[in-house]
Amino acid sequence: MTRQPPTTEIRIVLRTIQSAGVLAVLPVAAALVVVLAAAGATWVVDGDGGADFTSMQGA
């Protein structure tokens, strides 16, 4: 018994499912990029030294 190639209708359904999967992953990936890019840093200002900055103007 030989395997028949998929019909046009099945190809359309499979492509639709694949496209839906890609469209579901893209927003998640974009949100992850935004969250990682928005990760902030904490700078410490201390007039006695031992910090990132010694004055607010320097920061």
Task: Say what the pLDDT of residue 1 is.
Answer: 66
Q: Containing domain of residue 44, as a range?
A: 1-59
Predicted confidence (pLDDT) per residue in 11-56, tens digit: 899 999 999 999 999 999 999 999 888 877 888 888 787 788 888 8
Max intra-chain CA distance, the chain: 85
Q: Is the pTM of this model over 0.75?
A: no
Query: 22-59 burial string, b = 16+ CB within 10 Å, else e?
Result: eeeeeeeeeeeeeeeeeeeeeeeeeeeeeeeeeeeeee
β partners of residue 53 = 45
| CB distance 44 to 51 below 8 Å | yes
- How many domains does the chain contain in total? 1
Amino acid letter, residue 41: A
